[in-house]
Amino acid sequence: MDIRNRGVVVKFMSNALIVEDINTKERIRCVLRGRFRLTDLKPVVGDIVEYVRVHDIGVVESILKRKNELPKPKIANVDQVVCVYTLRRPEVPLLVLDKLLVLVEEANLNALIVLNKIDLLTEEDEQRKRLFLETYSKLYPVVMTSAKTKHGIDQLVEHFKDKTSVFAGPSGVGKSSLLNVICPGANLKTQEVSEKLERGRHTTTAAELLHLPFGGLVADTPGFSLIEVDHIRADKLKYYFKEIREHGNCLFKDCNHIDEPGCKIKELVEEGVIARSRYENYLEIYKEVSEK
Ligand SMILES: Nc1nc2c(ncn2[C@@H]2O[C@H](COP(=O)(O)OP(=O)(O)OP(=O)(O)O)[C@@H](O)[C@H]2O)c(=O)[nH]1
Ligand SMILES: [Zn+2]
């Protein structure tokens, strides 16, 4: 009787995949059992598979049910999307972060918010920083970091421990820099200009999962930096804003919280329970997806 082992698919190569054994952490080159040719279901990075050893290679027998699945980068069983944001260099509009969080909620994933480049913040930014923390730490875990001075990196590491993470966020916020700090040796090439020009190609190649030295896995790609919400239906948007989803109870059951009478959400914005910027961005995205 063959012994079935379990492992995580960490990488794809031309005609084989690399599976990291769940128990031994050994990386084994695997091929797929022939019957996979007959189905549409193929393993992706992040999948947990069952495999048997045949001499020094493995043969993948089956794929375990996925907890979740990201289309781009193609990756399964992600525990958290690490949403990186900066208040300076670049100064990113909150709308960009709120759209990203909508995508994370839509995919039913957990978000970790990282406010990076805090070394660049001055006293003038104190107010904006406080407002940012006030708004988001009610909703998601927030960590403040500097990839440059290493401030907050210990705390960041705690959040990555024993999880499968993927970075996301707009260009230039420091995703690759943070990855290189928490995973020395990852050596993300994406910082180089030549590579950046090939970005289109880079984002279409399969992600690879890297083993973190303190336990856990992280995808080597900059995640989804293209933050596109056009596919979302306007009447579904309310489910992808955490605080709006959690405070229902409007006069109309199907209230979209725009200008309906007896809207509880609008009341909560007035009372300061729901952040005004979040509600305004909700309205903005609602408008955007209604007009398409
Ligand atoms: N001052 C400061 N600069 C930083 C910090 N983190 C990253 N940078 C710089 O910001 C620039 C962009 O960093 P990247 O890590 O390439 O950003 P990215 O998010 O991966 O960008 P894309 O690959 O375009 O998506 C680089 O010049 C980094 O050196 C930080 O915490 N503080
Ligand atoms: Zn309402």
Render pLDDT for 30-86 as a digit per residue (tens, 0 to 9): 999 988 888 888 899 999 999 999 988 999 999 999 999 887 778 899 999 999 999
Q: Which ligand is nearest to the CA of 238?
A: 2
Q: Which ligand has an atom closest to residue 267 CA?
A: 2
Q: Does the pLDDT of residue 196 top 50, yes or no?
A: no
pLDDT over threshold 70, residue 189 = no
In this structure, are residues 249 and 263 in contact, taking their beta carbons and an 8 Å threshold? no
CA of 76 relative to ligand 1 center, distance in Å: 26
Are the CB atoms for 111 and 80 separated by under 8 Å?
Answer: yes
Are 205 and 96 found together in one domain? yes
Q: Which residue has the higher pLDDT, 247 or 281?
A: 281
Residues 97, 73 share a domain: yes
CATH of the domain at 47: 2.40.50.140
pLDDT class for 177, splitting at 50, 70, 90? very high
The answer to the question of whether 225 is labelled as a binding residue is: no
Same domain, 25 and 119: no
Q: Give the max Cα distance, the chain.
A: 70
pTM > 0.80: yes or no:
yes
92 close to ligand 1 (CB < 6 Angstrom): no
Q: Whose CA is nearest to atom 7 of ligand 1?
A: 174
223 confidence band (pLDDT: 50, 70, 90): low
Residue 229, in any domain of the structure: no
pLDDT at 13: 77
Residue 250 is labelled as binding a ligand: yes
Same domain? 113 vs 254:
no
**Are 100 and 172 in a shared domain?**
yes
52/133 same-domain check? no
Do 282 and 243 share a domain, yes or no?
A: yes
Same structural domain, 79 and 139 = yes
Average pLDDT, the chain: 89
Please name the amino acid found at residue 105.
Answer: E
Q: What is the pLDDT of residue 114?
A: 98
d(C-alpha 155, C-alpha 144), whole Å? 9
User: Containing domain of residue 248, as a range?
Assistant: 234-291
pLDDT at position 224: 66
Spatial distance between the Cα atoms of 61 and 170, rounded to a whole number of angstroms: 38
Q: Which of 123, 177, 165, 139 is nearest to 278 (CA)?
A: 139
Q: Is 93 annotated as a binding residue?
A: no
> Considering its fold, how many domains does the chain have in total?
3
Tell me the pLDDT tens digit for each residue of 113-149.
999 999 999 999 999 999 999 999 999 999 999 999 9
Q: How far is the CA of 262 from the centre of ligand 2 (A)?
A: 7
Question: Among the three residues 173, 194, 219, which one is the final residue of a domain in this structure?
Answer: 219
Note whether 150 and 208 are same-domain residues: yes
What is the pLDDT, as a whole number, of residue 191? 40
Indicate which residue's Cα is closest to atom 1 of ligand 1. Answer: 117
Is residue 152 within 6 Å of ligand 1 at its C-beta?
Answer: no
CATH number, position 285: 1.10.40.50
Query: What average pLDDT does range 229-246 have in this prediction?
Result: 96
The reply to whether 89 falls in a domain is yes
179 has a pLDDT exceeding 90 = yes
Residue 131 sits in the same domain as residue 154? yes
pLDDT at 34: 86
Nearest protein CA to atom 14 of ligand 1, as residue = 174
- Which ligand 1 atom is at minimum distance from the Cα of 190? 23
Q: Would 277 be classed as within a structural domain?
A: yes
Domain boundary pick from 169, 193, 219: 219
